[in-house]
Amino acid sequence: MEQPMAMAQWVYHLQSTGRYSFTRSQVESDTGRSFLGVQNALRRLKQQKLIVSPHRGFYVIVPPEYRSVGSPPANWFIDDLMRFLEQPYYVGLLSAAAVHGATHQQPMVFQVITRKPIREMRAGRVALRFYMNRSIEHFPVVPKQTETGTLRVATPETTAFDLVRYPAAAGNLGNVATVLSELADRMEKRALVALAPIVNTTDVQRLGYLLDQVGYADLASPLHLWLSNRHPRAIPLVPEELAEVDVDGRWHILPNVDLELET
């Protein structure tokens, strides 16, 4: 019983310094214990629900107010986790939209963009879902302060393009349009069109069309000017849906689904 108690004291000390995550190698280094000794102590702390491990070798301290959930919020530890995984990242999609004030569509999972495929992780009831963008370093982000430090969050413009690229992350395209209507006032024309050359042309078409549909044609006008010099082909709004509809001449979009926006 002495070793687990000492280990708990180490965890409490770490928490008292404002740190809520650590690695197994850090424990071994700080305590001088063997791999097996650390492993046994960590297992007991997990059984006591004092810590949780979303990934092998990485641990999150669970303060008393989050014991019922089994983990503090993901934004308390996502920066440390991605550093541990040695992967670039930013908080994206609905999770980023919520940070920017678009809270109508509350994400059921914490959504993260990174360069390589990563399986979904869980920390207690907190789920983390990862989406891939191989050009992640070219997309602008903003630092946001959290209770434990900072995290990287997609700008509203980055968020908008990601939502169009991954509409299923928002449930459906109607939900994407709803979020865009909330984000639009936080987007800037210049920042939006600056992303056009590094995304798929089809994403520019779909985002421009959706912005028109939610009443922000003026915001989308630089995208339309950029697109008009590239003579895009006509594409369906939703690739998987088939419908005989007329082409939207402005964005060369086949509006093959009815958008149902939530109010």
What does the pLDDT average to over 234-258?
85
Please return the burial class of 189, using the count of CB atoms within 10 Å of its CB with bins 0-12, 13-18 and 19+: middle
Residue 261 lies in a domain: no
Q: Can you give the pLDDT at residue 107?
A: 81
Q: Is the pLDDT of residue 240 over 80?
A: no
Residue 177 lies in a domain: yes
Q: What is the pTM of this model?
A: 0.90
Does residue 97 contact residue 184 with C-beta atoms inside 8 Å?
no
What does the pLDDT average to over 146-160?
94
Q: Is the pLDDT of residue 251 over 70?
A: yes
Of 60, 63, 44, 40, which is closest to residue 52 (Cα–Cα)?
Answer: 60
Does residue 133 contact residue 139 with C-beta atoms inside 8 Å?
yes
Contacts of 105 (CB under 8 A, 6+ apart): 94, 97, 170, 171, 175, 178, 179, 262
Task: Check residues 197 and 107 and name the one with the higher pLDDT.
Answer: 197
Residue 141 lies in a domain: yes
Last residue of a domain, one of 66, 97, 112: 66
Strand-strand pairing, 253-254 and 235-236 = parallel
Does residue 131 contact residue 162 with C-beta atoms inside 8 Å?
yes
What pLDDT digit, counting tens, does each position of 8-60 carry? Answer: 888 888 999 899 999 998 988 887 777 788 888 899 999 999 999 999 999 99
Q: How many other β-carbons are positioned within 10 Å of the β-carbon of residue 165?
A: 19
Residue 129 lies in a domain: yes
What pLDDT digit, counting tens, does each position of 116-134 carry? Answer: 999 999 999 999 999 999 9
Q: Are 32 and 111 found together in one domain?
A: no
Does residue 247 contact residue 254 with C-beta atoms inside 8 Å?
yes
What does the pLDDT average to over 211-222?
96
Residue 193 lies in a domain: yes
Does residue 90 contact residue 113 with C-beta atoms inside 8 Å?
yes
Q: Are 223 and 202 found together in one domain?
A: yes
What pLDDT digit, counting tens, does each position of 162-208 carry? Answer: 999 999 999 889 999 999 999 999 999 999 999 999 999 999 999 99
Residue 200 lies in a domain: yes
Portion of the chain with pLDDT greater than 90, in percent: 73
Does residue 60 contact residue 52 with C-beta atoms inside 8 Å?
yes
Q: Can you give the pLDDT at residue 263?
A: 60
Last residue of a domain, one of 66, 87, 119: 66
Q: Are 58 and 127 found together in one domain?
A: no
Instruction: Say how far apart CA 18 and CA 180 lie, in whole Å.
Output: 35
What does the pLDDT average to over 137-155?
94
Last residue of a domain, one of 66, 94, 118: 66
Torsion of Cα atoms, 153 then 159 then 165 then 166, to 10°: 70
What does the pLDDT average to over 216-234?
94
Q: Are 133 and 114 found together in one domain?
A: yes
Helix (H, G, I), strand (E, B) or coil at 11: helix
Residue 263 has which token pair? 């109010």
Q: Are 233 and 114 found together in one domain?
A: yes
Q: Are 45 and 113 found together in one domain?
A: no
Q: Can you give the pLDDT at residue 1?
A: 36
Domain span at residue 16 reads 2-66
Q: Can you give the pLDDT at residue 248?
A: 87
Q: Are 52 and 89 found together in one domain?
A: no
Q: Are 149 and 202 found together in one domain?
A: yes
> The CATH number of the domain where 50 resides is what?
1.10.10.10
Q: Are 83 and 149 found together in one domain?
A: yes
Q: Are 49 and 161 found together in one domain?
A: no
Portion of the chain with pLDDT greater than 70, in percent: 96
Distances, alpha carbon 22 to alpha carbons 58, 115, 123, 233, 257, in Å: 6, 23, 14, 51, 47
Q: Are 97 and 224 found together in one domain?
A: yes
Q: Can you give the pLDDT at residue 5?
A: 44
What does the pLDDT average to over 62-87?
96
What is the count of structural domains for the chain? 2
Average pLDDT, the chain: 91
Task: Check residues 107 and 182 and name the one with the higher pLDDT.
Answer: 182
Please name the helix (run of DSSP H) or strand (run of DSSP E) that holds residue 93, with its range, or none: helix 93-99
Q: Are 58 and 115 found together in one domain?
A: no
Residue 127 lies in a domain: yes
Residue 39 lies in a domain: yes
Distances, alpha carbon 143 to alpha carbons 33, 40, 151, 153, 154, in Å: 36, 37, 6, 6, 9
